[in-house]
């Protein structure tokens, strides 16, 4: 299969003593970028005229959906925070298949070595599939971490649509005993700490990197688009708990703004790094 992912996209930076790199798994560009109206719908509380007005102000009708995997070198080895969609992905319309799955080539090109740990902000397919395609663990030596409530939820709930449930179940099964359930506010590896971001999914987890007084807050799927900073109450169909997802988004963005903590956003345009500031009752995003 030919790939349009192109040369590996790697953005290197440091947080104190931690060497970090954002490695892109891919980023469907227009005309294959998804429509804003797929993410923000009347059913999720966003009236169509309000979305049209915001899209007009922003000068776009699509969302640039990146898959920004974050690698962190710690004294206990390399941690990879979320693993992308992986190769041969047939969902979201088969046309994006050649546009994603670039993480492994990027990791090899980065020279960072093999991951010692996979830190999963949650178990949606676009965060875990890169760890298990095409049906076996891609990093067999790595431990994996996900919140206990996340693992319990996907293991048990049969009411969800099959296409949502199956990838999480497959990841739980294939990672097996290497997947460790964790709680909020614990240090997984030196300088890598879990933060409560529940709402998007029951165990959705933000990650705070910290070293020598520098920090980076990795927000996972707390928001998909900068429009959600201007409109923090806008949800998407993939936010499981409406009230908690909005409250969590407001709480985490307020924290990032008040303490000026740089943010890593998984789905923003590569590399997804920026600063959050207050704008009245809402927020604004400034890419770094
Ligand atoms: Zn996602």
Could you report the per-residue pLDDT of 242-263, keeping only the tens digit for each?
999 999 999 999 999 999 999 9
49 alpha carbon – ligand 1 mean position (Å): 26
Q: What's the burial of 136, exposed, middle or buried (CB within 10 Å: 0-12/13-18/19+)?
A: exposed
Q: Mean pLDDT, the chain, as a whole number?
A: 94
Are the C-beta atoms of 67 and 126 separated by less than 8 Å? yes
5-9, 51-55, 100-104, 218-222: least confidently modelled range? 5-9
Q: Is residue 276 part of a domain?
A: no
Domain containing 109 — which CATH number?
3.60.15.10
pLDDT, average across residues 132-142: 94
Read off the tokens for 30. Answer: 């227009």
Q: Is residue 158 part of a domain?
A: yes
pTM of the model: 0.95
15-19, 48-52, 160-164: least confidently modelled range? 160-164
Q: Which domain holds residue 19?
A: 10-206
- What band does 196 get if pLDDT is binned at 50, 70 and 90? very high
- What is the rounded radius of gyration, in angstroms, for the C-alpha atoms of the chain? 18
What are the two backbone dihedrals, phi and then psi, of residue 215, each rounded to the nearest 5 degrees? -140, 160
- What band does 286 get if pLDDT is binned at 50, 70 and 90? very high
138 alpha carbon – ligand 1 mean position (Å): 19
Is the pLDDT confidence value at 2 over 60? no
Rounded CA separation 144/20 (Å): 18
267 alpha carbon – ligand 1 mean position (Å): 7
Q: Is residue 171 part of a domain?
A: yes
67 alpha carbon – ligand 1 mean position (Å): 8
What confidence score (pLDDT) does residue 90 get? 82
265 alpha carbon – ligand 1 mean position (Å): 10
Q: Is residue 20 part of a domain?
A: yes
Is the pLDDT confidence value at 233 over 90? yes
Q: Is residue 91 part of a domain?
A: yes
131 alpha carbon – ligand 1 mean position (Å): 14
Q: Is residue 111 part of a domain?
A: yes
What confidence score (pLDDT) does residue 31 get? 84
Q: Is residue 47 part of a domain?
A: yes
- pLDDT tens string 40-67: 999 998 999 999 999 999 999 999 999 9
Sign of the CA dihedral with 232 first, then 215, 128, and 168 last: negative
Spatial neighbors of 277 by CB under 8 A, at least 6 apart, are 257, 283, 284, 286
Q: How far apart are the first and last CA of the chain?
A: 34
Is the pLDDT confidence value at 98 over 90? no
Question: Which ranges in 122-241 belong to alpha helices (H)?
Answer: 125-128, 148-156, 162-175, 227-230
239 alpha carbon – ligand 1 mean position (Å): 10
Q: Is residue 263 part of a domain?
A: no
pLDDT, average across residues 223-243: 95
16-20, 86-90, 138-142, 147-151: least confidently modelled range? 86-90
Domain count, the chain: 1
Torsion of CA 145, 208, 166, 92, to 10 degrees: -150
């Amino acid at each position: 299969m030919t790939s349009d992912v192109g040369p590996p996209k790697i953005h290197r930076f440091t947080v104190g003593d931690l060497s970090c790199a954002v490695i892109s798994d891919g980023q469907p560009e227009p005309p294959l970028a998804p429509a804003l109206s797929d993410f923000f719908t009347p059913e999720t509380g966003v009236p169509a005229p309000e979305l049209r007005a915001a899209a007009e102000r922003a000068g776009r009708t699509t969302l640039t959906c990146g898959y920004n995997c974050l690698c962190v070198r710690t004294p206990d080895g390399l941690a990879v925070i979320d693993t992308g969609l992986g190769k041969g992905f047939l969902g979201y319309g088969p046309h994006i298949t050649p546009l994603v799955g670039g993480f492994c080539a990027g990791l090899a090109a980065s020279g960072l070595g093999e991951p010692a740990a996979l830190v999963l902000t949650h178990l949606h397919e676009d965060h875990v599939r890169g760890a298990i395609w095409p049906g076996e663990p891609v990093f067999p030596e790595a431990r994996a971490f996900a919140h206990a409530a996340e693992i319990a939820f996907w293991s048990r709930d049969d009411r969800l649509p099959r296409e949502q449930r199956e990838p999480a179940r497959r990841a739980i099964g294939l990672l097996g005993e290497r997947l460790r359930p964790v709680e909020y506010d614990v240090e997984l590896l030196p300088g890598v700490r879990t933060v409560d971001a529940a709402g998007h999914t029951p165990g959705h987890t933000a990650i705070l990197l910290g070293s020598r007084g520098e920090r980076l807050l990795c927000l996972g799927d707390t928001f998909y688009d900068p429009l959600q900073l201007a409109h923090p109450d806008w949800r998407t169909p993939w936010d499981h708990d409406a009230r908690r997802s909005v409250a969590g988004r407001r709480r985490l963005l307020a924290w990032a703004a008040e303490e000026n903590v740089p943010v890593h956003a998984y789905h923003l345009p590569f590399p997804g790094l920026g600063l959050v500031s207050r704008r009245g009752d809402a927020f604004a995003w400034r890419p770094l």
